[in-house]
Amino acid sequence: MSGFASTNDLADKTISFDELGPGLYAYTAEGDPNSGVIVGPQGVVVVDAQATPAMAADVQARIAAVTDRAVTQIVLSHYHAVRVLGASGYPEAQAAIICSDVTRELIAERGQQDMDSEIGRFPRLFRGKEGIPGLTWPTHTFQRRMTLWLGEREAQVIHIGRAHTMGDTVVWLPRERVLFAGDTVEFGATPYCGDAHFADWPATLAAIRELGPEKLVPGRGRSLLTRADVAQGLADTEAFTSTLFARVREGVAKGWDLGDIYRDTMDHMRPKYGAWVIFEHCMPFNVSRAFDEARGIDRPRIWTAERDIEMWRALEHEARDGEVAR
């Protein structure tokens, strides 16, 4: 094994900075982690900080092209390193880093392991990692919902439910009907499910549908600027996660081991989803977590750099050399 599939993904991505409405923007990069931007009268809110301060600097450069206001608040959609470790790159926002109480709990429990793990998996996303001062710690947490008032603009910060992680948070602008969805929704990009709650994901997507967004920024993939695109993003995410979990549950019910289930699930999913961004990278983690959940392990096990490598080597070796035992 030469390394995770993602270690070979070193090409720079084309960045887009889409205007969603007056003072509302999406920073997207061909399937790399997205950030949202809300320009308020006294400052700017960034939704998801990027992986490193160096990457955050590029977000700020785009913001500077549309406003002279500083980033003064950061909302974290969940705890993963690629979303949060760039927070120190927003110097005027250090007193206002917001996340759900569950996300803070996860940072405390497994943030360091996740940092070490993700840096090993995604070398391109962690260019400039030497500038990361350590874990990102929130200054404000909430239980279910809080509201940011940016002048007359209302931004609801909602712990929407368990899906990509147990702390998943979205930012909803009800008047503009714009949603920054984090990784609860992806578009043309493979959902990473290593810390997921598959059985809960459909209900979380249903809660998003009930909000009625007309524009949506997914965690990965391009901005969704029409109702039809939003509906497609929600439907595709649900289809992927539900199909994967159902297939893994079938294998568990048959008594197959993880390697057999991985090969079978890859064969089942690849024809429809294999062209999605980071498919090859995500699937070993996705199937491993689905295997655990199908066997009754509700709280995702912590991924460490060592566990990552052990799992990858085992599953990828078997996928190359084995056949599904039925």
Q: What is the mean pLDDT of the chain?
A: 93
Find the mean pLDDT for residues 214-230: 98
- Which domain, by its residues, includes 161? 5-321
Q: Name the token pair of 121.
A: 């998996």
Find the mean pLDDT for residues 291-313: 94
pLDDT band with cut points at 50, 70 and 90 for residue 60: very high
Q: In what order do the strands lie in the sheet with 140-142?
A: 16-21, 24-29, 32-39, 44-47, 71-75, 97-100, 140-142
Q: What CATH number does residue 96 fall under? A: 3.60.15.10
User: What local confidence, expressed as pLDDT, does residue 93 receive?
Assistant: 98
Mapped onto helix, strand or coil, the DSSP state of residue 59 is helix
Residue 294: pLDDT over 80: yes
Find the mean pLDDT for residues 296-315: 92
180-209 residue pLDDT tens = 999 999 999 999 999 999 999 999 999 999
Beta-carbon contacts of residue 296 (< 8 Å; ≥ 6 apart): none
Residue 58: pLDDT over 80: yes
Find the mean pLDDT for residues 146-161: 98
On whether residue 42 sits in a domain, the answer given is yes
290-293 long-range CB contacts below 8 Å, 24 or more apart?
A: 290/193, 290/196, 290/198, 290/244, 290/245, 290/248, 290/249, 290/265, 291/248, 291/251, 291/252, 291/258, 291/261, 293/196, 293/197, 293/198, 293/199, 293/245
Beta-carbon contacts of residue 248 (< 8 Å; ≥ 6 apart): 261, 265, 287, 290, 291, 294
Mapped onto helix, strand or coil, the DSSP state of residue 183 is coil
238-284 residue pLDDT tens = 999 999 999 999 999 999 999 999 999 999 999 999 999 999 999 99
On whether residue 21 sits in a domain, the answer given is yes
Find the mean pLDDT for residues 136-143: 98
User: What local confidence, expressed as pLDDT, does residue 9 receive?
Assistant: 59
Q: Residue 154: beta bridge partners?
A: 149
Q: Name the token pair of 232.
A: 């497609």
Find the mean pLDDT for residues 62-66: 98
Compute the distance between CA of residue 248 and CA of residue 250 in angstroms, rounded to an integer.
5
Mapped onto helix, strand or coil, the DSSP state of residue 326 is coil
Q: Which of 102, 94, 104 is nearest to 71 (CA)?
A: 94
User: What local confidence, expressed as pLDDT, does residue 317 receive?
Assistant: 67
DSSP E strands: which ranges in the chain?
16-21, 24-29, 32-39, 44-47, 71-75, 97-100, 140-142, 145-150, 153-159, 169-173, 178-182, 215-218
Q: Name the token pair of 67.
A: 């406003």
Any idea of the CA torsion for 249, 251, 284, 204, to the nearest 10 degrees? -10
Total number of domains in the chain: 1
Find the mean pLDDT for residues 96-114: 98
Compute the distance between CA of residue 17 and CA of residue 227 in angstroms, rounded to an integer.
20
Considering just the CA atoms, what is the radius of gyration of the chain in Å?
19
69-92 residue pLDDT tens = 999 999 999 999 999 999 999 999
Residue 283 near residue 95, CB atoms below 8 Å: no
On whether residue 46 sits in a domain, the answer given is yes
Lowest mean pLDDT among 117-126, 183-192, 207-216: 117-126
On whether residue 195 sits in a domain, the answer given is yes
User: What local confidence, expressed as pLDDT, does residue 11 receive?
Assistant: 67
On whether residue 326 sits in a domain, the answer given is no
User: What local confidence, expressed as pLDDT, does residue 325 receive?
Assistant: 32
Residue 156 near residue 172, CB atoms below 8 Å: yes
What is the pTM (predicted TM-score) of this model? 0.94
Beta-carbon contacts of residue 310 (< 8 Å; ≥ 6 apart): none
Q: The tokens 């491993």 sit on which residue?
A: 288
User: What local confidence, expressed as pLDDT, does residue 2 receive?
Assistant: 43
